[in-house]
Structures are given as C-alpha cells and as structure tokens.
Amino acid sequence: MRASLIILALAIVGCSQQTNQPNANYETLDEVISGYAFLQPETQALQDDEFSNPGYLWVDKGEALFNEPAANGQSCASCHTDEDRSLIGASTHFPKYDERAGTLINIEGRINLCRVTHQSVPKLEYESEHLLALTTYVANLSKGSRVAGELSPKVQSNYDNGQAYFNMRRGQFNLSCAQCHDDNAGKSLRGDTISQGHSNGFPTYRLEWQTLGSLHKRFQYCDIGVRAEPLPGGSQTYIDLEYFLANRGRGLQVETPAVRR
C-alpha cells in the first residue's frame, strides 16, 4: 500500500514537471505534490470515481444553475456557449486581476461580477449552496488542466500579502501555514500525514465536513486549528492567500471536486 502511494506521488510529481521549472517566487518546496498523494487508497478511489464522488452532486447542480436564465433572460450559458468553450481551462488562471473590478478576484468573485453586470441579479453569498455549485462546476471544466499560477505586476502587493499571511505565525498555537505545509509536509501529525497544503482540488468534498466546501472554508478551519480568528469567506486577504497558493502549486492538475479527509 505504502509503495503504491509513493509511486503515485512520484508519478504526480513527474507529470507536473514542476521540479524542472525555475520558480523565482517560490523556492521552499523541492517538489510540488497534490494532497491526493497523502490520502489512503479508499479515499483516492472515491475521488477517482466520477459517479460516487459526492462532489459531483455539486457539479450537477452547478451545471443546472449555469444553464438557468435569470429574469432578464440571460444565463451563464448565454455567453459561455458550448462552441465558445472559453471556460475550459479558465479556472487555472484564477485568482486574477480583473479590469472592471480593479482588483484581484477569484472564481467566486468572477461569478458574482457576471451576475451583477450581465444577469442583473444580486451577488450570491460566499459559501452559499448556489455559489459553491457554480464554482465547482466551472472549476471542474478545467479538471486535468494545470494550475497556471501566473504573476502579474498589477497584483504584486496581493501576492506579497498572501505570502505574508502564509508565513505569519498566529493564534494561540503561534503557528504559521508554512510551519506545517512547508517545513513538515509528509510527516505525521497524530493519525494524519501533513500535506503540502495545495489548492488544486477546491471546492473539495471533505469527509470531515461531510459536505463540499470552498478553499476559504478550508482556510477558516486552519485558522481555527491554530486558535486564530478566522477571516470571513471572500475577504481580500483570503483571496490574496489563494493567489499566493496558486503560484505555489503551479503545474498541479486541477482535481475539482477533490475528496479530502
């Protein structure tokens, strides 16, 4: 079992070509490995099974919402048509700078922007069932594509902020993200093996949540885990952290909807 895990981990690393890429912005990890490699085989099998992976319940729901017209007759699919296929691979470029918003936004932010500007409907609340479903559907369209993790000078300050958050010790435990996910990834924390903390599977079906959740919900659980005050989902600092993580996990394949512990 262990041997197959290691082989799998190596295979994933081998595919990602991450080790051969110069990465000026991220030097700490020798090789970038998806959280998938840290799961037991039964959990991997659940993720791989495109029927019984419960995350697909949200993909299905998101697809239905994507095609549902708003009061003004516009659905997401009115612009993003099948022929257009513009959304395949799109999620690999998020978070990214948006001209209209004038700031760094993630997929959730982009969906809400489209709702307001093109569908004339209110924004969906962060972590709401519908926003999760739409985000999962859109991210799933890029499943198998590699996280682009581009850097733009326009949002350098967001990157710096995200990186600072990742490295900042906080909470009553006085721990940073980096202390677990950079310094001790692969080691055991009680019954768990610490992953590298990548974002390529989100939104993710977590067994602990018994439901699907966003990356920001995962951040909140990490913050609470170290006894720090969690930030609200969709807050700019979490989006900045998401941006930093996309660069840190550059080259990983999108796994949405992944299954995690």
Partner 1 sequence: MSSIRISIPETAEAGEVIEIKTLIQHPMESGFGRGARGQVIPRDIIQTFTCDYNGTTVFEAKFFPSTAANPFLTFFTRATKSGALTFTWTDLVGETWVETRNLIVSE
Partner 2 sequence: MINQSLFTLNRRRLLQMGTGAIAITALPGLALADEKAFQASRKAAFGNTPINEGRVEVTLPPIAENGNSVPITVKVDSPMTDASHVKRIVILSPRNPVPDMSHYKLGPYTGRAEVSTRIRLAGTQSIEAIAEMNDGSLWSGSKSTVVTLAACAIL
**Given the DSSP bridges, would you call strands 188-189 and 192-193 parallel, antiparallel or unpaired?**
antiparallel
Shortest distance in whole angstroms from residue 63 CB to partner 2:
24
Cα–Cα distance between 135 and 66 in angstroms, integer? Answer: 10
Cα–Cα distance between 61 and 143 in angstroms, integer? Answer: 17
- Tokens encoding 82: 């099948």
Cα–Cα distance between 154 and 200 in angstroms, integer? Answer: 23
User: How many chain residues interact with partner 1 (CB under 8 A)?
Assistant: 10
For partner 1, the closer of residues 60 and 183 by Cβ is: 60
**Using rule CB under 8 A, residue 225 touches partner 2:** yes
114 in catalytic set: no
- Tokens encoding 168: 């900042």
From the list partner 2, partner 1, none, which binds 144 (C-beta under 5 to 8 Å, kind-based)? none
**Using rule CB under 8 A, residue 75 touches partner 1:** no
**Residues 117, 67 contacting (CB under 8 angstroms):** no
**Using rule CB under 8 A, residue 61 touches partner 1:** yes
Q: Which of the stretches 54-62, 90-98, 105-113, 150-158 binds partner 1 when contact is defined by CB under 8 A?
A: 54-62
Enumerate residues 181-200 that contact partner 2 by CB under 8 A.
189-192
Q: Residue 50: helix, strand or coil by DSSP? A: coil
Judged by the rule CB under 8 A, the positions of this chain that interact with partner 1 are 51-52, 54, 56-58, 60-61, 210-211
